[in-house]
């Protein structure tokens, strides 16, 4: 029995990883598209007078000690004689920095009367601020980045593992798959880019787990390229 070529195993493993990476990006794009549809649709919803019942900040603790903050708003409104209790500020609202959440709380102090946009088909479905908000753009941005990064890394891995043009089957280890030496600089660039993205999570208002995931993906890709480059250098 002829053992599998280790290079082919690398290709298969990397293809599965990148496939999941691209799938995650497509899911985020789908979520962003759905939020976008609802954000645009709610601008034409009818409105009724509502009043803010409670307005407070909530803290979500991260896995590594970090935290994000969100504004928890509760409001009351009446449609056709029925009282409803709403909690959604906007489609695409998100947890972010304390300053971001505090700015929302300032717009909706307890006791303030303001219009509530509600769905004609389901009055319980309501928002205080119609239109497109940050969370929608984050879904689109991160989803697009995941898909493009997955496709780009796949092309890079295929280029790295593609047999050289002058390879002769049966001579010098030539075969279906041969290892070419990827540029060391490319791996260093990916690692540096991923590090800067991860460090940026400490100052960004976006959810940190998203930024760390993106930064980690770039760092892993850079380590993979460096590893393959060093292995090929030792063989040469």
pLDDT, one tens digit per residue, over 121-172 is 999 999 998 888 777 777 777 787 778 777 777 776 666 555 555 555 544 4
Q: Are 176 and 163 in contact (CB under 8 A)?
A: yes
Phi and psi at residue 74, in whole multiples of 5°?
-125, 130
Q: Give the residue extent of every domain in the chain.
A: 6-30+136-235, 46-129
Does 234 have pLDDT greater than 70? no
pLDDT in tens, 4-53: 555 566 666 677 777 887 888 888 888 888 888 888 889 899 999 999 99
Q: Phi then psi for 200, rounded to 5 degrees?
A: -65, -15
Is the pLDDT confidence value at 202 over 60?
no
Q: Does 208 have pLDDT greater than 70?
A: no
Q: Exposure of 187 by Cβ count < 10 A (0-12 exposed, 13-18 middle, 19+ buried)?
A: buried
**1 has pLDDT over 60:** no
Please classify residue 141 by burial: count the beta carbons closer than 10 Å to its beta carbon, then call 0-12 exposed, 13-18 middle and 19+ buried. Answer: middle
Q: What is the mean pLDDT of the chain?
A: 75
Of the chain, the percentage scoring pLDDT greater than 90 comes to: 22
């Amino acid at each position: 029995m002829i053992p599998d070529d280790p290079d082919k195993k690398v290709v298969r493993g990397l293809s599965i990883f990148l496939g999941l990476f691209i799938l995650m990006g497509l899911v985020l794009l789908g979520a962003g598209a759905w939020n976008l549809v609802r954000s645009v649709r709610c601008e034409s919803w009818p409105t009724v007078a509502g009043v803010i019942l409670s307005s407070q900040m909530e803290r979500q603790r991260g896995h590594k000690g970090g935290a994000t903050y969100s504004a928890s708003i509760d409001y009351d409104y009446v449609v056709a004689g029925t009282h409803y209790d709403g909690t959604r500020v906007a489609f695409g609202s998100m947890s972010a920095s304390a300053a971001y959440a505090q700015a929302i709380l300032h717009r909706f102090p307890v006791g303030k009367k303001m219009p509530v946009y509600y769905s004609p088909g389901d009055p319980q479905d309501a928002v205080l601020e119609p239109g497109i908000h940050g969370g929608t753009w984050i879904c689109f941005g991160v989803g697009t980045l995941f898909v493009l990064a997955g496709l780009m890394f796949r092309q890079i891995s295929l280029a790295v593992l593609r047999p050289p043009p002058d390879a002769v089957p049966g001579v010098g280890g030539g075969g279906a798959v041969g290892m070419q030496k990827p540029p060391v600089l490319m791996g260093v660039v990916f690692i540096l880019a991923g590090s800067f993205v991860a460090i940026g999570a400490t100052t960004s208002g976006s959810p940190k787990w998203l930024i760390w995931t993106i930064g980690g993906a770039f760092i892993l890709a850079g380590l993979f390229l460096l590893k393959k480059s060093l292995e090929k250098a030792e063989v040469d």
